[in-house]
Amino acid sequence: MGLPHAIAVTTVNITDRIGSIPMVNLHRENLKDCTKIIVDGAYTGDKFSDSIKEIISATTEVIKRTSLHTFNILPKRWIIERTFSWLEHSRLLWKNCERTLHNFLQALSITFIHLLLTRY
């Protein structure tokens, strides 16, 4: 459905690939039933997939672009893009005006709660 199971907010100097492993470790109770994690090309490599396998016993599937300047529909990538589209409709997240990471994390949580309450 594209709804988050775990959210983490980091500073700019931490890449998504490096920040995702501590996030999975922190939220492993919420992610214990996941069997496969779908990631984009930035998460390639055995070190990342081995870390995920060790923490929550899930496999990783990398969805990569085959060509840069042509339009191709990537399988399952639309789920992630649709979730980002939902976030763009939130005025709380429209401008990055939060001073602390905790405040931004709370704004993300409020946005997803609002999304759930209006749809279900």
State the pTM of this model. Answer: 0.71
How far apart are the C-alpha atoms of 120 and 116, rounded to whole Å?
6
pLDDT tens digits for 47-58?
999 999 999 999
State the CB neighbour count (10 A cutoff) for residue 103: 13
pLDDT tens digits for 10-62?
888 998 888 899 999 999 998 989 999 888 888 888 899 999 999 999 999 88
Confidence band for 104, pLDDT divided at 50, 70 and 90: confident
